[in-house]
Structure 1
Amino acid sequence: MAKESGKLTALAVKNAKLGKHFDGSGLYVEVTAGGSRLWRMKYRYAGKEKRLAFGAFPEVSIAEARDRAAKARALLRDGIDPGAAKAEKTAAAKRIAGSTFPGVATAWLAKMKPGWADETYRKAAYVIDTYLSPALRRQSVTTLTTKQAADALAGIPPSLAAKARGYLGQIVNYAIHEGLREDGRLLSLRGVLPKAEKGHIPAAVDLGDVRKLVRAVADYPIAVTRAALTVAMLTAQRPGTVARMEWVEVDLDAGEWAIPAAKMKTRHAHIVPLPKQAVEALRGMQAYTDGKQFVFPALYQQTTPHLHRDALSNALRKMGFAGKHATHGFRGMFRTVARERLNIPVDVLEAQLAHAKKDEIQKAYDRTQFLDERRKAVQKWADYLDALRADNGGKVVTINRKAG
C-alpha cells in the first residue's frame, strides 16, 4: 500500500499510476487496471477498518472529494458510522423513488380486493384512478404531506371527497406497514373538507312523483337502459348490481335472480324473486345478448363490457329527475311506498333489499330470507306500479299475460 504523502493535485491524479494515492486523513484515489480513478476514504468505526466510496475523478473533483471526507469525519466525531448513514440515505432515496402514490395506491387496492364486494372495489378504484392518482401522480407516499393531500381532496366533488379522504388515510397506513413511510407519520385530514349537509338519496315517494317516474321509465326510448331501469325499479336492487347482471345468474322460468356473494355488499349470496314484469323485460334483452355473459350490453362509447351504471343516472337526468330521484332511489321508493301503500312487512322489505343486519346476534344467527313472502311482495309491487301508470289511483288489478 502506498504511503500517505502530501496533498494531491489534479495533475497528479490525472497522471497517477496503478495503485492507491493518498491525499491525507484517510482520503485517497485508487487507480484501477482499467484506468478509472476512484475516490475512497478509509476509517475505523467500532474497532473495524472500513471504506467509503465518493465517486470517480474527474466527475468528482478533488475539492468535492475532500468536502465529502470532511463531512464523513464530522459524523465519526458524533459517534455515527458514515458508511451506515450513507447506506440509509441511499435506501431512503430508493424508497421515495419507488413509492409514488399511484403505485402504492394500486398495491393497496390489490390487497383489499379479495375481502371486498365487487361494487366496493369499483367505487374505491374509481375515486383513486379518477381523482387521487392524477392529482398526486408526482408525489411519493414516503414524503406525502397533509397539505398536498388536502389540495388533492379540494378538487374532488363533495359527494366523493369523504370517501377519498378515507382511502388516503388507509393508503398511508398501508405504506407505513410496508416500511415505505416512517412509523406514526399519519396525515391530519380532519376538518380539511367543508361540512356538508347529510341527506337521503333522492327518491320519488309521493304518488304523483312515482306515477311520473314509472311512466317516464316505460317511455324511455333506449331499450337497454329502459329494461335495466325497469329491473332496478321492480327488484329494488343496487343499480351497479343490476347493470352487471349476468345470464348465468338468471332463471327466467323460475323467476329468480341469484346474485353471488362477491357482488353483494353484505358478502352473502342473495336470491331475488323476479315479478312477471321483470321477467318480461329480461326476455326482451335476449335479442341483444343471448349467449353472452352480461344481460345488459354496453352502450355506444362505454368502455365497460356491460351497461355502465352511469347510463341509468344519465337517463333519469334526461327524464327530468335530477335531484328528485336517483338510481339508488328505487330502493328507497320500494322501502317507503311498498310499506305505506301495500302494507308489506318491514322484515320482508329488508330481506328484499339485502340490508346488513345491525345487531351482531342477528348477523350470526338470522339467515331468514322470506323468499316466498318476497316473491308475493315484488309481484304485488310490480302490479301496483302498473296500476299507477294506468292512472287508476294505484288500485292493484290482475293482469293476464300470455306465457313466454
Structure 2
Amino acid sequence: MPLSDTFVRQVKHTGAKAGDKHTDGDGMYLHVSATGKYWRLNYRFSGKQKTLALGVYPAVSLSAARKKREAARALLAAGADPSAAKQEEKRVAARASVDTFQAVGREWLAKSSARRGETTQAWVVSWLEKNIFPAIGHIPIADLRARDVLDAVRIIEQRGAIDSAKRVLVYCGQIFQYAIVTEAVTVDVTAGLYRALETKQQQHYAAITSPAQAGARLRSIDAYHGHPFVTAALRVAPLVFVRPGELRTAEWGEIDLDAAEWRIPGAKMKMGVEHIVPLADQVVAVLRDLQRVTGAGRYVLPSIRTGSRPMSDNTVNAALRGMGYSKDVMTGHGFRAMARTMLDEVLGERVDLIEHQLAHQVKDVNGRAYNRTAHLPARRDMMQRWADYLDILRLTR
C-alpha cells in the first residue's frame, strides 16, 4: 500500500537496530532509523541488486521522492544505471565549483607559458586579470555562454582598444580549447565571436617608397650619430623589414650569425607562427659589431637605460624625428612598406617570396598555408639582393 504524507510525517523509529522499512511501491521505501528518515530505491542492474539514495525527509518530501523514483526508472528503461548517473552528477557539480573561468584560465596560463616569451606572458596575464577575470572569472566555465564572453571583451573594445579586444578574445578561445581537453567543457563558445567585434579601419603607415627618397634616407642613417644601439637598429631595420616590436625584442638566443639566420619564436609573431629571417651579409656585419657590446646580455637591442629590458617601442621613431623625418613621411613600421613596394615594383621579386618574408600568410594552389621554411633558399637570395640594392641606393645621388 502506498505511503501517505501523514504517515511519513508521524511514523517513528521502533527501536530496531537495522531501522524500519516502509514500502511505497516500485522498489521505493522509507527507511526510518534513530538518526532520521531516508528515502531509498531498490533496483536491479546488470543482474545485480542495488540501492539508490533518493534523499532525506523532510528536505525531500514524499512527492519529490516519487519523482526521483520515476526518473531512476526511466534511466533503467534506457539501459542506464541510476547510481552511476547520480555519481556523474555529483562529479560535474563538484567540478563546476572548482572549474571557474579564472581557475581554468590560470591553469592554462601556467601550462602554456613555455610557448610565449616573458613579455607576451606578462601582457596576457595583465589583460586577463584586469579585464576578463573581474567580469566572468567567478563563473563556472561550463556555465558560460557566448554572450557572457562577448560582453566582457566588449568592455575593452569600448575603450577603443579594438586590436587588444580581438587578441584577448583569441586567448579566451584558447582557454576554452584547453577546457575541452581537460573535459571541463564540451564546446568552445567563443568560436565565431570575432564577427561581433568592431573592425578597425586599416592603418597605412607612412613610408618612403621611391628609390631616390630611399637612398637619401639611407644616407641620413649613415650620418646619424646617436646612441650605438639606436644606430644599429636604424641600420638593420631596412634590411630585415620585420615589425618594429619584433626587431626591438630580438634576443641573441634567436640569432645564428654563422648560419646567417634569425628565428623569431611564434609567441612574438602576430600570426603566432615561428618566422625565419635570412640575414644578408650586411646585417651579419652590423650584428657582429653589436655583439661585442650587447652579446653578454639577453637582448640584441637593449634599452639604453638598462640591459634587462628591450629597446623602447618609440626609440626608432624618435630617432627618425630627430633626423628630420616627420611621422607623416616615415615610421619604423614604414620600412616594411618600403621593402614591399620596391622589391615588387623596382626589383621585380616574386610576390609570394616577399609576402613570406613579411610573415604574411601565403597559401598554395590547394589553399594550404606554407610553413615557415617554404622557399627559404630563394628568400635568402632575395634578402641578399635587397641588401645589395640598398647599398647601391646609398651611393646614388
Q: TM-score range by the shorter chain?
A: 0.5 to 0.7
Partner in structure 1 of residue 96 of structure 2: 96
Q: Which residue of 1 aligns with 2:289?
A: 283
Report the CA distance between 1:30 and its aligned residue.
5.0
Aligned position for 1:316: 317
Residue number in structure 1 paired with 2:41: 43
Aligned to 2:138: 138
Kindly tell me: are residues 21 and 162 of structure 1, through their superposed partners in 2, closer, same or farther at Cα, counting changes over 3 Å? same
Of 166, 185, 189, the match for 1:162: 166
Partners of 1:40 and 1:21 in 2: CA distance: 10
Distance in 2 (alpha carbons) for counterparts of 1:338 and 1:90: 64
Query: Residue 302 of structure 2: which of 278, 292, 297 is its match?
Result: 297
Deviation at 1:369, TM superposition (A): 2.4
**One-letter amino acid matched to 2:151:** D
**Measured at CA, do residues 84 and 45 of structure 1 come closer, stay the same or move farther in structure 2, by a change above 3 Å?**
same
User: Which one-letter code corresponds to 1:307 in the other structure?
Assistant: P
Q: Is the 8 A contact 2:209 2:338 kept in 1?
A: no
Query: Aligned residues: percent identity?
Result: 21
Question: What are structure 1's unaligned runs of at least 5 residues?
Answer: 1-5, 32-36, 56-61, 388-394, 398-404
Q: How many residues align?
A: 356
* CA 1:151–1:223: 2 relative to 1, 3 Å: farther
The equivalent residue for 2:58 is 63
In 1, distance between residues paired with 2:344 and 2:188? 50
**Which one of 369, 375, 380 corresponds to residue 371 of structure 1?**
380
Could you tell me how far 1:148 is from its partner in structure 2?
A: 1.3
1:75 aligns with 2:93: no
Query: Post-superposition shift, 1:150?
Result: 1.4
Instruction: Summarize the alignment of residues 146-185 of structure 1 with structure 2, pairs less than 5 Å apart.
Output: 146-156=146-156, 157-169=161-173, 171-176=175-180, 178-182=182-186
SS for the counterpart of 2:279 is: strand
Corresponding letter in the other structure for 1:196 = K
Residue 142 of structure 1 and its aligned partner are, at CA, apart by 0.6
Q: Distance in 2 between matches of 1:299 and 1:144?
A: 46
SS at match of 1:260: strand
Contact 2:336-2:358 within 8 A present in 1 as well: yes
Instruction: State the distance in 2 between where 1:97 and 1:167 align.
Output: 22
- Partners of 1:261 and 1:22 lie apart in 2 by 73
Cα pair 2:96 2:142 within 8 Å, conserved:
yes
Taking the aligned partners of 2:20 and 2:243, their CA distance within structure 1 comes to 77
Corresponding residue number in structure 2 for 1:228: 233
Number of the residue aligned with 2:79? none
Cα distance in structure 2, aligned partners of 1:127 and 1:250: 25
- Indicate the residue corresponding to 2:338 in structure 1: 333
Asked if the contact 2:169/2:190 (under 8 Å) is kept, the reply is no
| Cα deviation 1:178-226 (Å, max 9, x = unaligned) | 43224586766365223433x2551413569866798589769655455
Calculate the aligned-residue CA RMSD, in Å. Answer: 4.9
d(CA) in 2 for partners of 1:53, 1:223: 78
Distance in 1 of aligned mates of 2:141 and 2:348: 51
Contact kept in structure 2, 1:245 and 1:295, CA below 8 Å: yes
Relative to the length of structure 1, the TM-score reads 0.65
| Aligned mates of 1:376, 1:42 — CA distance in 2 | 84
Q: Is the 8 A contact 1:272 1:352 kept in 2?
A: no
Matched with 2:364 is 359
Question: 2:91 and 2:275 mapped to 1: Cα distance?
Answer: 45
- Rounded to whole Å, the distance in 1 between the matches of 2:194 and 2:358 is 33
- Does residue 1:205 correspond to 2:208, yes or no? yes
The secondary structure found in structure 2 opposite 1:142 is helix
